[in-house]
Structure 1
Amino acid sequence: MNPDLLASSLLAAVTAAVQGRDGEAADSLSVGDIALERPRNRDHGDWATSVALKLAKRIGLTPRALAEELATAFGAIEGVASVEVAGPGFLNIRLEAGAAGALAAAIVAMGGAYGGNDALAGQSINLEFVSANPTGPIHLGGTRWAAVGDSLARLLSISGAAVIREYYFNDHGVQIDRFARSLVAAYRGEPTPEDGYGGQYISDIADRVVATRSNLGSLDGAELQEAFRASGVNLMFDDIKKSLSDFGVHFDVYFHENNLHESGAVDRAISRLRELGHIFEEDGAVWLRTTAFGDDKDRVVVKSNGEAAYISGDLAYYLDKRERGFDRCIIMLGADHHGYVQRMMAMCAAFGDTPNENLQILIGQMVNLVQSGKPVRMSKRAGTVVTMEDLVDAVGVDAARYALVRSSSDSNLDIDLDVLQKRSNDNPVFYVQYAHARTHQVARNADAAGVDGSQFAAELLTDETESILLGALAEFPRIVAQAASLREPHRVARFLEELAAAFHRWYDACRVTPVGDDPVQPVHHSRRVLADATGQVLRNGLDLLGVSAPERM
């Protein structure tokens, strides 16, 4: 019995028990009120719920009294073997072997759909991530967001949302001028400007610009810089897109910042805010009254010299997203942007939207590479920063993506290259991928022995390791829904490691194929289905992380 079906059955029993005492309370109940959890100690049963503690006060009973009443109702549900009241009113539920084991066949039947839900159905979400300046290769912070952002998009999608992956192309501002000056200096064989960009990639881009522009010798000054700016930015961005593609990350929209300023979008955003009464003028500048929405100071939108301030682009871009029909705009930023959150939320509220609902900002912390116990700080191409290519060259795409996504993105992350290069259980991605490959080895051996799962009997899966493995498989949909809701893909990675551990223990304890010339028994067929179900869930989870699921290792 899967947890959704069990929760629905429990909800019906709770509703019936509460109806006579408080009809309003009964009518307002939902599956979420059941709050099923897996007990840490499996001796306490297969599932536990605190629903009695949650509802007792509303209907005038003690939690323990309500729990005892519900225990009788729950015990009558088909597939439930026993229900025990624990502590002040917790309910521990144990399923019959057949009800628990039936999940294996259900997972095989659902295939790639297992784990999905419709919690976010009807929501249109714009997810903006990476958005590295087109002035150099993607550094490790951007690489972390590439892995986490792509996994989050997959989680939101499998939870029913319509998701657009968007990359904000920063092609407007002083950093582009500095990039162009750096290219010109490389072209002329001059030292890198004091505020410019260094690294071999600058020389490489400059050489490629020379190869594509035949008239550079006739240009000078501003014209030469503009030529290198126009061609160099495009070449750099082509490199960034290729790096992302090689990393398994693809965007639906590449939005150019420059378009906001050239299309009149900035003026439209200011006009909208002026209509709402939040724009004022002072000292010759145009201001947004963000202090009315929790910001620590009001923000200049247009400077006294007529130049648009940085926040003007944010205003226009947010309004553009909302006008494109997105209910939620999620932006993933690096730790150095933490100070922007308050003003961005004030901006959201100024437009009449709800901060942290219509606009959500996720902050990611730093990533450090370590090898032989020492930090890795230099790049072959980029000089003083370590890039996406450096990490991928060292450990491969799968290990890189998994390592970046398996820890909470709001904490600093140290990646040990020596561990990720190992083909052993010390390497988390190898451990999970090996478990998946082992399920396929089990299937190949079973095929050779004539064990095809055709005589599946759920009630035969009674070994303790089978109960634990089935319990882990049952958790997957809840983990997926929780990871999507909390915007925390690392929960999927940690679940996969626990599932892999449960599978390896089961593999050591239970045979799928008969010994020697012994005949094939129904239990072998049943275990074959359990192995296949485990492989399916491992595959589904790895896919959510953008990591491959090899059949052989």
Structure 2
Amino acid sequence: MYIREKIENQIKALIAGSVDAAMEAGDFSVEALPEIYLEVPREKEHGDYATNIAMQLPKQAHKAPRVIAESIVRHMNIDSSYVEAVEIAGPGFINFKLKSDWVYEVLLEIEAMQENYGKTQGNAGKKYNLEFISANPTGPMHMGNARGGAIGDILAAIAEWTGYDVTREFYVNDAGNQIAKFGDSLDARFRQLMGEDIPFPEDGYQGNDIRVHMEEFIDQEGGADACQKYLTMDEAERKGIFVDYALEKNLKKMHADLEKYGIHYDIWFSEQSLYDQGAIESALKILQDSGAVYEKEGALWFTTSEFGCEKDDVLVRQNGLPTYFMGDIAYHLNKFKTRGFDRCINVWGADHHGHIARLKAAMQAAGVNPDHLEIVIMQLVRLMRDGEIARMSKRKGEMITLTDLIEEVGRDAARFLFNMRSPDSHLDFDLDLAIEQSNENPVFYVQYAHARICSILRQMAEDKNTEGPANLTLLREKEELTLLDMLSNLPNEIIVAEEKMDPSRITHYAMDLAAAFHSFYNACRVRVEDIELMKARLALIKGTKQVLANVLEILGIDAPERM
């Protein structure tokens, strides 16, 4: 148990004990004590922790909040605790000021746990599936995929640090209309390259990658003469060959590009496999058995409106073909019922927002707790260059690809900057800032803090005066205490980031920790004449180096020793 958790548990126990003592004294009476919440006041003068418990009790106690708070404080015994003082503020808030010596335990925790500092086990034994990016494999991945990748991969890391058994999953959309359009596009380019004067489909994929695929296919087959046989082949068979060829190429490139981006998937799940293995039929039967399916005008419908949605949805069309919605239901039932995940998280673009309630309704009808399916909605990215918006169009092939981005700004800057804001916020990605080697660039600023500590440690490595245990109570300067306080926050920041599904909390924690270190560096020299103080400050920067490294690991970013 981390020091912060020990303190918070102790304060909650003090509050609960005080309420009991107040009731025994006849000050007031409550039937049930609600859950006690603590918060960290924004203003330091209000203490280290505060609770509004006295403002939750008036209806039961028949007393004013302030009167209840005064009674609670009067019966509170803080001897032998981490609490130095307790005060009442406003209408009944209770503020707690901690003794100053608790912060020194943080460095002992870091030294003992090293690369595991920040990890908790509250979610141990639970299976967690995180599906993200899942771009159509019909062309290169672009900027939106890049943001989704950074968000998803860091969310997965955060979940692992809270104890979850995490599976990172990519849903390969290798069935449906987009694949039919892909086949049409490949076939048209092939026939044009073979000399036929035919128009290209208006809604086809116009990127140069389609032409390159077919040029390489023709070369692989031995040239135009050898490819004449495909022109006389059944059109559906020919398109199938082209799709299989190009999909394999695209998926290999996706694998390679994502590895460069620092993302490794545990599972690449094929949409087509749902059809091949009968999962669509099985899912449909589950819904039919639940009574949530009816037939109308030759189609099968799901009673979505009975679950609070505006209208019902088609599951199987009149021609007998399942809708995309039906496939998505089957896919998620495969996660919950077949593979047994306790919790499933999807990272989706904002254009999928309307699909959330429908899918949750289907899970509920199928006997799955809809709360166990959670959707992280990701807003759009605007790419900025020279202060102007760079326009992109995937259909026309005019876009910045994931590969382009990594080559231009690097993996670290991309992953960091994509998580500068919460997923549900729009983001401007500044290419100029991403490559700037200055403190204006937040990833540079954080990495430089780590490199600066490594530099100090190298310079002091031969100093024999630094050997032996350190007297940490000598760390009394404001900048030293601020840095210690920041170090203590990591475990809880990870827990809250996981609960809120917001990886930007970790990014901002990294920036705040780097800022606290840089302030310490500017105010407090490590190599000083006072040997004991030097040893204490050396212990402080070693702990800071470890925590920075841990945070950068969560973010999937290098922790450089030299810059």
1:239 aligns with 2:253: yes
Paired residues, number: 545
> Paired residue for 2:11?
10
Alignment of 1:513 with 2:527, yes or no, is yes
Instruction: List per-residue Cα deviations over 1:247-290 (Å, max 9, x = no partner).
Output: 01111111111111121111111111111111111111111111
Amino acid of the structure 2 residue aligned with 1:375: I
Is 1:349 paired with 2:361?
no
What's the counterpart of residue 212 of structure 2? 204
State how 1:45-84 maps to structure 2 within 5 Å.
45-54=47-56, 58=60, 62-68=64-70, 69-70=72-73, 73=76, 75-84=78-87
Q: Provide the residue aligned with 2:44 in structure 1.
A: 42
* Bigger mean CA deviation after superposition, 377-386 or 322-331: 377-386
Corresponding residue for 1:118? Answer: 121
For the Cα contact (< 8 Å) 1:126–1:326, is it kept in 2? yes
1:321 equivalent to 2:335? Answer yes
Tell me, in whole angstroms, the C-alpha distance in 2 between the residues paired with 1:381 and 1:272. 38
Are residues 1:439 and 2:446 paired?
Answer: no
The 1:451–1:544 alpha-carbon spacing in structure 2 relative to 1, beyond 3 Å, is: farther
Q: In structure 2, do the counterparts of structure 1 residues 81 and 19 end up closer, same or farther at CA, with 3 Å as the change threshold?
A: closer
Matches within 5 A, 1:477-496: 477-496=491-510
2:179 to 164, 176, 179: 176
In structure 2, how many angstroms separate the alpha carbons of the residues matched to 1:180 and 1:80? 69
Q: 1:304 to 1:381 in 2, by over 3 A?
A: closer
Deviations 1:360-391 (A, max 9, x none): 12211111111111222359997322221121
SS of 2:275's equivalent in the other structure is helix
Displacement, 1:108? 2.4
**Structure-2-length-normalised TM-score:** 0.90
Q: Is the 8 A contact 2:65 2:91 kept in 1?
A: yes
What are the Cα deviations for residues 44-90 of structure 1, in whole angstroms up to 9, with x where unaligned? 44444444444566556544445444377363134433333333333
Distance 1:330 1:462 in 2: 44
Aligned residue identity for 2:204: G
* 2:156 aligned with 1:148: no
Q: Which residue of 520, 525, 540 corresponds with 1:530?
A: 540
What SS does the aligned partner of 2:489 have?
helix
Shift of 1:34: 4.2
2:196 maps to: none
The structure 2 residue matched to 1:457, chosen from 467, 471, 478, is: 471
Which residue number corresponds to residue 219 of structure 1? Answer: 230
1:167 aligns with 2:154: no
Displacement of 1:117 after TM fit?
2.1
Q: Distance in 2 between matches of 1:277 and 1:453?
A: 73
1:370 alignment partner, one of 372, 384, 389:
384
Matched, 1:340 2:355: yes
1:15–1:26 contact (8 Å) kept in structure 2: no
Taking the aligned partners of 1:56 and 1:77, their CA distance within structure 2 comes to 30
Residues 262-277 of structure 1 mapped to structure 2, 5 A cutoff = 262-277=276-291
Q: Percent identity?
A: 38
SS in 2 for 1:332: strand
Structure 2 spans left out of the alignment, 5+ residues: 194-198
RMSD across aligned positions (CA): 2.5
Query: Which amino acid in structure 2 is aligned with residue 5 of structure 1?
Result: K
Cα contact 1:82–1:93 (8 A) shared by 2? yes
Judge conservation of contact 1:19–1:26 (CA < 8 Å) in 2: no
CA distance in structure 1 between the partners assigned to 2:77 and 2:549 by the alignment? 34
CA contact (8 A) 2:336 2:368 kept: no
**Which range moved further: 130-139 or 116-125?**
116-125
CA contact (8 A) 1:182 1:202 kept: yes
Distance 1:8 1:162, change over 3 A: same
State whether residues 379 and 387 of structure 1, in contact with CA within 8 Å, keep that contact through their aligned partners in structure 2.
no
Q: Which is worse superposed, 485-494 or 186-195?
A: 186-195
User: In the alignment, is the contact (CA less than 8 A) between 2:18 and 2:75 conserved in 1?
Assistant: no
| 8 A contact 2:21–2:75 mirrored in 1 | no
Deviation at 1:217, TM superposition (A): 3.6
Q: How do 1:389-468 residues align onto structure 2 when only pairs under 5 Å count?
A: 389-450=403-464, 452=466, 454-468=468-482
Offset of residue 99 of structure 1: 2.0
Contact 1:172 1:257 in 2 (8 A): yes
